[in-house]
Amino acid sequence: MGRIRKIKKDDILDAAERVVMKLGAAGLSIDAVAQEAGVSKSTVVYDHKSKSALLCALIDRRVSAEQARQEQAIAGAKDTPHPELFGRLKAAEREIDDVDRAVAMAIGASVSHEEELHHQLREWTAMDIKAMSTGPKPEAALLALLALTGFQCNSFLGFHRWKPEEQARILESIRNMYATYPET
């Protein structure tokens, strides 16, 4: 008798990422993920009741990883003029990989008709905006965050791939925008 393979939730989400990489958001299905993971459809459905729930779990994992990166960078930015902003800028220095881009494209394709996903992203955005109001020069921090968000959207969605020196220059310009913004 063969040994039963133990499947973990991360194995299913890893398979979902591979499906999104290969087929895009439109190709994401319970069947495709089950096949990619080498498990039955019922195994995928047990943890993720629907395609929507699977997509939300996949995005939640990516957003949680990004938030952990940001929290670490914010802790490291405690001696900057605005740790919440400068930490996010530091976290944005990393190179965006193809999996990040594929998941971002899946988000973009799904956000208009997936209310739970839309809710998740609204909450994350609200947290970021609130964090800008907690430090000095909240208006400058908010404007810098909006510039950073635009930069990151272009990067994550693959609209433009910045050369490392361009990326560094843009992030430094956002820092300078905050630093030189007049006190109100």
Q: Which residue has the tokens 């007049």?
A: 182
Contact call for residues 157 and 105 (beta carbons, < 8 A) = yes
pLDDT score for 1: 45
CA geometry: angle 109, 111, 114, nearest 5 deg: 115
Q: Which residue segments constitute the domains of the chain, with CATH numbers given?
A: 9-180 (1.10.357.10)
Exposed e or buried b per residue across 140-166, where buried means at least 16 C-beta atoms within 10 angstroms of its C-beta = bbbbbbebbeebbeebbeeeeebeeee
Average per-residue pLDDT for the chain: 87
Contact call for residues 121 and 60 (beta carbons, < 8 A) = no
State the DSSP H helix or E strand holding residue 41, giving kind and residue range, or none if neither.
helix 41-47
pLDDT score for 7: 66
Cα dihedral 70, 173, 128, 116 in deg (nearest 10): -90
pLDDT score for 158: 83
CB neighbour list of residue 31: distance below 8 Å, 6 or more residues apart: 41
pLDDT score for 111: 66
pLDDT at 43 exceeding the cut of 70 = yes
CB neighbour list of residue 20: distance below 8 Å, 6 or more residues apart: 27, 28, 58, 102, 103, 105, 106
How do residues 24-40 score in pLDDT, each as one tens digit?
777 888 999 999 999 98
pLDDT at 166 exceeding the cut of 70 = yes
When pLDDT is cut at 50, 70 and 90, the band that residue 91 belongs to is very high
When pLDDT is cut at 50, 70 and 90, the band that residue 112 belongs to is low
CB neighbour list of residue 136: distance below 8 Å, 6 or more residues apart: 81, 82
Contact call for residues 177 and 143 (beta carbons, < 8 A) = yes
When pLDDT is cut at 50, 70 and 90, the band that residue 3 belongs to is very low
